[in-house]
Amino acid sequence: MATAGLWNLKFLLMSRLSVSEMWVIGRRKRIVLVTVTASIIGLFLAICLFTPSTTTDTHFISGGNGNLPNPDIDHLPTQNLTVYTCSRPSSSSTIIKHDLKQIKGIFRHYVPKSFDPKYKNYCWRSQLKLSALPHTVPDLRHYYESHQLADYQVNELIQKAGGAVDGINGDTLTCIPSVFMAGFPKSGSTYIYKLLSQHPSVSPGKVKEPHFWTSFPFQNKNNYNKLAVLTYLANFKHASNCSSTDSDCVTIDASQSLIWNTRYTISDCTLPRVFRELFPNAKFIINMREPTSRTYSDFHSFSLNDCSQFFKSVLLSEVFDRKMKSETGHFSSCLQSHSLHYCTQESINYPAKVFKDCGEVRLGSSVYVSHVKRWLAFFPRDQFLFLRLDDIINDLYGTMKEIWSFLGVRVLSQEEFAELKKRVIRKPKEYNSMKDSTRQLLDDFFRPFNEELAETLGDNKFIWK
């Protein structure tokens, strides 16, 4: 310190500048230093505020003003849409990033941008030979893996199906669904789907739930993707036959994972964004059930094969109770630092590890408002039909009339429906009752989300009081 002081004094003595002049120069230096420091701090704050984090997308949907998260999507309906912020999975997610352009490119290789307007399904003329493919989309993974196909073998299979000629502008009528029964599991969708399939103007796919959109387009092998698209088309081959004789024919993809499963997507907005681009006029049937009961039923469907070792020592109702205490606690903690949409997906993809070998609990699948808002951000309300299991049980014919009208097919008489219903067998599943304390825990947990759902849909029956 003494040395530094002597040096400064020596500098002043050697300088010809007056003390006042030296003070002015120092003041200028201080002003420059403060200005530079303020600029650096401002730049740092700007980077923090406007750089997207690992959990929040930068894309926003604005009500009715046409600002969509993807520039390729040009037109929005005039109705006000829900404001929504897209969420991304955490960095630990096993997500396969696949750009929207790539998804569109693979799909557009076989499916045109416009369809024949005289059909209710999405139909076009092509040169596809779908009989050359595995029969159903669920068979695809097994087919692909069991044959251990090399790339050139996959290419040969694609060429046999018509991929070499682009699959478009041929003589064969090819159709895919324009209606999607998109969720939620354990809410009566299978029974409704079977009843709908008996209608003369409804053609079912080979399987009810191909789960194509929540998995196959986002895998990372282009040949596999192409084969998956063609196999998805093959799953609805009967739709082409039906539409060729009845232009009012409707085919439904009833994959219950569509509305809530975002495990393999870039963000929770990816799927509705893709659908908005590919199928802007699609219709969606959403089955819902009182969420506490749906969650318990969902757990039992997973626990039948997984929990045999617990049957003798611990009742499944006790296992479920412990899981729910852990899950609801994790979910509530997540909400303190993340959005509802983020926490919903984390709950689905990474459930708590309590009794991890005994069943799976997808708590986030029952937080309906998170999923519904995401899709309402891209599609107008009148393209959705929201159903409750309670109404299906209490007024089945009334519910079916509502669905037929929504689909634009002929409304059957009560006598016709009575005959149709005889061909469909409903098998309600029975299991041990839930603990009262567990039900109270979940009822309290879901209540604010149900209230938000009711407000979003403008119908208090979705509070499930």
So what's the pLDDT on residue 45?
A: 44
Output the pLDDT for position 164.
41
Q: Is the residue at 389 inside a domain? A: yes
- pLDDT value for 136: 61
In a domain, 300, yes or no: no
pLDDT at residue 91, as a whole number: 40
Q: What is the pLDDT of residues 351-372, one digit of tens each?
A: 766 676 676 788 999 999 999 9
**SS3 of residue 404 by DSSP:** helix
Mean pLDDT, the chain, as a whole number? Answer: 74
Does the residue 190 lie in any domain? yes
Give the separation between CA 156 and CA 167, rounded to whole angstroms.
Answer: 14
Does residue 256 form part of some domain? yes
Q: Of residues 43 and 280, which shows the higher confidence score? A: 280
Encode pLDDT of 167-221 as tens digits: 455 677 888 899 999 989 999 999 999 999 999 999 888 888 888 888 766 555 5
Where residue 309 falls among pLDDT bands split at 50, 70, 90?
low
pTM: 0.77
Residue 10's pLDDT band (boundaries 50, 70, 90)?
very low
Q: Contact, 319 vs 358, CB < 8 A?
A: yes
For the residues 90-101, what does the mean pLDDT come to?
47
Give the model's pLDDT for residue 198: 93
- What pLDDT digit, counting tens, does each position of 106-144 carry? 777 788 888 888 889 998 888 777 776 766 666 665 665
- What's the pLDDT at 40? 55
Tokens of 393: 């049980």
Q: Are 199 and 304 spatial neighbours (Cβ–Cβ below 8 Å)?
A: no
**Within a domain: residue 451?**
yes
Q: What is the DSSP string of 7-60?
A: HHHHHHHH--S-HHHHHHHHHHHHHHHHHHHHHHHHHHHHHHHHS--SSEEEEE
Domain assignment present for 449: yes
pLDDT tier, 89 (very low <50, low <70, confident <90, very high otherwise): very low
CATH of the domain at 160: 3.40.50.300
Q: Is the pLDDT of residue 408 over 60?
A: yes
The lowest-confidence range among 58-67, 156-165, 443-452 is 58-67
Q: What pLDDT does residue 33 have?
A: 52
Question: How far is the C-alpha of 221 from the C-alpha of 94, rounded, in Å?
Answer: 16
Can you give the pLDDT at residue 261? 83
Find the domain containing 72 and state its range: 56-292+362-463
Sign of CA dihedral 331, 332, 337, 338: positive
The answer to whether residue 344 scores a pLDDT higher than 80 is yes
Instruction: State residue 360's pLDDT score.
Output: 74
- Mean pLDDT, residues 150-170 taken together: 60
% of the chain with per-residue pLDDT over 70: 62
Q: Is residue 297 part of a domain?
A: no
| 145: pLDDT strictly greater than 80 | no
The predicted pLDDT at position 137 comes to 60
Report yes or no on 40 lying in a domain.
no
Pick the range with the lowest mean pLDDT from 170-174, 316-320, 452-456, 458-462.
Answer: 170-174
pLDDT bucket at 284, cuts 50 / 70 / 90: very high
Number of folded domains that form the chain? 1
Report which of residues 216 and 418 the model is more confident about: 418
**What is the model's pLDDT at position 134?**
67
The 3-class SS string of 277-340 reads HHCCCCEEEEEECCHHHHHHHHHHHHHHHHCHHHCCCCCHHHHHHHHHHHHHHHHHHHHCCCCH
Alpha carbon separation from 366 to 86, 287, 372, 399 (Å, rounded): 19, 11, 11, 22
Residue given tokens 């969509």 in the structure block: 68
Q: Is the pLDDT of residue 51 over 50?
A: no
Q: What is the pLDDT of residues 70-88, one digit of tens each?
A: 323 333 333 344 445 565 5
pLDDT surpassing 80 at residue 258: yes
CB 130 within 8 A of CB 161: yes
